[in-house]
Structure 1
């Protein structure tokens, strides 16, 4: 994996998946590589009660019931729609599920305003069409069509970012389980591509995008909705941040232990800012940032790299505060004013009362705001 910037889950955890497959004696639906219990175990990690000869690492941090419902949905005829706020781990869960079930998480369509029906059905190799005419050989199948033909899991990221006509093209795929190719001879077996058992679609949608391109009632009926909640438990959030940060440190080959006191400062800062946003009376009084767990990880990574490249190869409260301000101040002057108010109204009293890392965090935040102002 050393020559890959980001390895997909089936490559990154190939050794674990191979071992789980070798000891899995459970019933496997369709063409699944692992049984539902083993899929859950791969995603959530092993426990002593599982009785395995080795430990399986936890990769997604959330409620077991959410993972179980997602797995059950994928074993049914319905598609799976993971919906939630930004940074709640929807895409990561979708990738892990596809890797465990199909050993291929890369059959992905990214939903944008520029996504067309061709992206979820098929296109044509123009040079081959000119030379030999339209045929299956000159067809370029979409990731979804490839998933259908191989009985695997296809993924559709940011479904609500796609236009209505693109979304509607999914309806026949999810209900009829085939794609018609009218350009080919209707008497030919190639004119219809049928889905093989095991095919399903995992889509994700950002709950903050509601109203961008709302899903039709017909499409909603073909999905099971699984809502991914924002992580509010401090311990769970700390586990997520620590897990992701350790991965980033390994990628950058940096040997550094994140001091628990600084991790607490980061978690408390985001908790304070979320509480302030919840109490705000208008959008102008809220940070533009979603204040997600993913953004916490980004702040921590930024401060670690800055300290490693330009500091004393250690993480400090001053650098952490500077990274937090730099990452969250997206609007000028609104976000800077909100962060300045937070520093003076919350961090300053806390630094006097509790001491510890807070005074240095306060000074680092003030310097960062002064630089950006």
Structure 2
């Protein structure tokens, strides 16, 4: 199956690890959980020597362990979990890992958008079956959230604040009453949530003010904030882990020189500093400059090196990929990047020469192409 599916969900990708942890799990498990909270933590954060497991469990989410622990505890409670943070901080990945470890299925997902309707949260109808035989449980199409309620599993709601307020509020009765009424049916017209059901939602902190959550809905969630990673060592581990995972799908492997990764990390750190001190939106890049975007830059550079380069990652290609990935608005982003390149990157080039000089040249070439 892994040869034909573009991206396996966490419960399939790490099925061996989940089976192993379940076999050795002697901890107390909440109702219908496949692992105890302690083993869920191990699955997400990796094993330690103190656990004395005869197999190493890889770390999959990088961050403060207390964040993962609070998320796990919340899901064992009566309240929903809302993971909130800037784009690219790993909210969705954390949600997927938690659902995979707790119920063995992370695919009961509603993707929030401006066009999401209440039907997509609760249920809809198979029109052909309704015309042929009328409304019944058989002609009803349950939403992923309703399905997770029926199974006692984890339902996921991505980008909650992208939905309109009336759609968001459809979750209030689900989270508080733990059932969905079906007024179109006379009998068997209530779907009750089984033990083990909960909701893991994510929200982009940059979307505040788009569709703010109501006070009633906020009360039914525990908020867990996922901070932007600022520790370079931690960010390096995240970038290498995720980039390697993405490139494995393409059956591509090119070793990235540690010094080139240092160039990438330092450039993003400098860009964030410049963005924080900018006087207006036009004076900073539109990009969120997240860890996820660093992963995108590195993946782009490695693939370019594989197909059109010398089968090795060079500073020039990294510079071109960074500029090509981050410059989105014309002419605003070009102006911002040009200023940054001729001040900050130029200073690194003068001081360190070598890779910084070639990196600078690659970025300048990319800007010339974009400017036309």
TM-score range, shorter chain: over 0.9
What residue is the counterpart of 1:358 in the other structure? 356
Residue 21 of structure 1 aligns to a residue whose secondary structure is helix
Deviation, 1:334, is 1.0
What CA deviation, in whole Å up to 9, does each residue of 1:196-222 have, x standing for no partner? 000000000000000000000000000
For 1:9, the equivalent position in structure 2 comes to 10
Q: Partner residue of 2:242?
A: 244
CA distance in 1, matches of 2:180, 2:348: 61
Measure, in 2, the Cα distance between the counterparts of 1:6 and 1:264.
29
Aligned positions of 1:212-227 closer than 5 A? 212-227=210-225
Tell me how far apart the structure 2 counterparts of residues 260 and 119 of structure 1 sit (CA, whole Å). 46
2:354 is paired with a residue whose SS is: coil
User: 1:282-301, aligned counterparts within 5 Å?
Assistant: 282-301=280-299
Match of 1:102 in 2: 103
2:71 alignment partner in structure 1: 70
Number of equivalenced pairs: 370
Give the Cα–Cα distance (whole angstroms) in 1 for the partners of residues 159 and 337 of structure 2. Answer: 30
Shift of residue 255, structure 1, vs aligned partner: 2.4
Q: Work out the CA distance in 1 between the residues paired with 2:346 and 2:63.
A: 34
* Aligned: 1:167 with 2:165: no
Q: SS of the counterpart of 2:313?
A: coil
Q: Secondary structure at the match of 2:124?
A: strand
User: 1:108–1:154: 8 Å Cα contact kept in structure 2?
Assistant: yes
1:305-332 CA distance string (max 9 Å, x none): 1111111111111011101111111111
Contact residue 249 and residue 256 of structure 1 kept, 8 A: no
Where do 1:117-132 residues align within 5 Å? 117-132=118-133
Residue 266 of structure 1 aligns with which residue?
264
Match of 1:338 among 329, 336, 341: 336
2:198 aligns to what?
Answer: 200
Q: 1:150 and 2:148 equivalent?
A: no
Shift of 1:254: 1.4
Q: Which runs of 5+ in 2 are unaligned?
A: none
Name 1:115's counterpart in structure 2: 116
Using the size of structure 1 for normalisation, the TM-score is 0.98
Structure 2: how far apart are the matches of 1:197 and 1:2?
35
The answer to whether the 8 A contact 1:90-1:204 is kept is yes
Q: What is the deviation of 1:356?
A: 2.8
Structure 1 window deviating more from structure 2 (340-349 vs 13-22): it is 340-349
Q: Name 1:280's counterpart in structure 2.
A: 278
State yes or no: 1:39 paired with 2:40. Answer: yes
Q: CA deviation at 1:338?
A: 1.0
CA drift at 1:36 = 0.1
Cα distance in 2 for residues equivalent to 1:350 and 1:148: 55
The alpha-carbon deviation at position 355 of structure 1 amounts to 1.6
Aligned residue in 1 for 2:61: 60
Show structure 1 runs of 5+ residues with no match.
none
**Secondary structure at 1:261 match in 2:** helix
Q: Distance in 1 between matches of 2:351 and 2:34?
A: 56
Q: Give, in whole Å, the separation in 2 of the partners of 1:7 and 1:361.
A: 35
User: CA offsets, 1:50-88, max 9 Å, x none?
Assistant: 111110000000111000000000000000000000000
**Partner residue of 1:210?**
208
> What is the deviation of 1:248?
1.9
**C-alpha deviation, 1:337, in angstroms:** 1.1
Structure 1 range deviating more: 53-62 or 253-262: 253-262
Looking at structure 2, the residues matched to 86 and 248 of structure 1 have their Cα atoms a distance apart, in angstroms, of: 18
Distance 1:356 1:98 in 2: 46
- CA-to-aligned-CA distance 1:267-314 (integer Å, 9 cap, x gap): 000000000001111111110000000000000001111111111111
- 1:97-156 deviation per Cα after TM superposition (whole angstroms, max 9, x unaligned): 000001000000000011000000000011111111111111000000000000000000
Partner of 1:309: 307
2: CA distance, partners of 1:351 / 1:55? 41
Q: Are 2:125 and 1:133 equivalent residues in the alignment? A: no
Q: Which moved more, 1:345-354 or 1:216-225?
A: 345-354
Q: CA deviation at 1:49?
A: 1.0
State the distance in 1 between where 2:73 and 2:348 align.
47
Contact 1:31 1:151 in 2 (8 A): yes
Moved more, 132-141 or 349-358: 349-358
Distance 1:372 1:168 in 2: 44
